[in-house]
Structure formats: C-alpha cells, structure tokens
Amino acid sequence: MELSKQKNYQQSFDLACASIRKMNLEERARRAGADYQKREDGGEITVHFFSEPYQIRFPQIEFYSPSKKVVSLVTRILLLHYLIRADGNPLTGKWVAYKDIPGGLLYAGVFARRVTEPLQRRFGKSAESFREAGVKSGGEPVEIGDASFILRAFPFVPLQYVLWEGDEEFPASVQLLFDASVDHYLALEDMVVLGQVMTGRLINRSGG
C-alpha cells in the first residue's frame, strides 16, 4: 500500500514538473504571492510555506529550505501545485468548511478521517494543548470556540482551526476552515493532503 502511494506521489510530482516547465515562471510567482529571481542558468521562485521560505530553482526544479536537509516529496508536490494553480484571486475574508467548497461534499468523509478526526481524538478534552500546538506551529490565536488559531499555509491560503471541547452531552469538534477563494489556489485533493500534513505537525508539537 505504501509503495503504491509513493508511486502515485512520484507520478503526481513528475506531471507537475512537466506542467510548470511550460509556464511563465515570473507570472506564476506573481499570481502566487511569491518572489521570482532571474538567474544565469534559469530562474528561482521563493514561496513561503507555513512561514518558511522555500526556493525552487529552474529549469532543474531543485528545492531548498533553510531548515531542512531534504524537502519531502509531499511538500514539493504541494509547492508546485500551488504555483501551477494560483490565479492571483484576492482573499474574500469569508471562511468556509471543506464540504462547502465546490465539489468538496463528495470528499468530505475522507477529509474528516484524515484531517479533523485525528485532531478531535488528540485534543478533544484539551483546548489549551490545542492552542499551544497551534502557536508553536506559527498560528495566531483568535477568539472562537474553546480554542482557535489562524495559520498561513501559503501566501493566499490561510487556514483557521476551531476546537470545541467535548463533555458528557456533546462530543468534541474540530473544524478546519478555508478562505472561500481556496479553490483558486489548490485542488480538493491538495487541500486534503495539506490538512493531513498540518494535522501531523500539530499532534507532533503537542507531544502526542
């Protein structure tokens, strides 16, 4: 199963590389809120992913991060998919659930299983731990629910997490909300993968 998943990721990465090579890199950077720098041997795009700058050098498509020796395949795919899809659409300021994004209802069960349910199990009775994990991950606390914070995954993809603690009467609930413009920057599948990545980080930073 893992081998099959890895193969699918590799195919997705190879397709993304082929697509972006045909594009105007300077325009891609501008529409994604990233920086473009022309180099003697090609070009370089710097895009922030969870506040961390990642450099992508073209035409070889090599990835560099100041804090990581190796940039994971999943991160590389998300970076390329964001750059390829970005159309410069402004943020709306309106938060929506995954199921309310066009086409999202079809994959809402997958999103819940991979993204929000693990957070409910880990943090359902510990709003303070959830808030601390969010702040450690670069989140800005907001006053919604029992604990909430906003993270910026990409320049035009903010994420808002909201937790309501469970009790004897009601189960715990965690929501991951997106700006209503998110589908101008990421496909539905990428939103699931992005959410899964952040779920892992939050759990790891809580010591869970």
Token reading at 159: 């994420």
Distance CA 88, CA 74 (A): 23
Complete edge-to-edge strand list for the sheet that includes strand 42-49: 35-39, 42-49, 52-58, 62-64
Distance CA 48, CA 27 (A): 17
pLDDT (0 to 100) of residue 3:
56
71 phi and psi, to 5 degrees?
A: -90, 120
Please report the domains of the chain, with CATH numbers, ordered by start residue: 2-85 (no CATH), 95-205 (3.30.310)
Q: What is the pLDDT along the chain (208 residues), one digit of tens a residue?
A: 455 677 899 999 999 999 999 999 999 999 999 999 998 888 999 999 998 999 999 999 999 998 888 999 999 999 999 999 999 999 999 999 999 999 999 999 999 999 999 999 999 999 999 999 999 999 999 999 999 999 999 999 999 999 999 777 888 999 999 999 999 999 999 999 999 999 999 999 886 5
Q: Which of 91, 92, 81 is nearest to 28 (CA)?
A: 81
pLDDT (0 to 100) of residue 138:
95
Token reading at 68: 């990581």
Burial class of residue 182, CB neighbours in 10 A (0-12, 13-18, 19+): buried
pLDDT (0 to 100) of residue 42:
87
Which residue in this structure is represented by tokens 């804090």? 67
Distance CA 149, CA 24 (A): 35
3-state DSSP call for residue 43? strand
Complete edge-to-edge strand list for the sheet that includes strand 173-179: 95-97, 173-179, 157-164, 147-154, 140-141
> CA angle at residue 32 from 26 to 33, to 5 degrees?
90
Token reading at 65: 């991060």
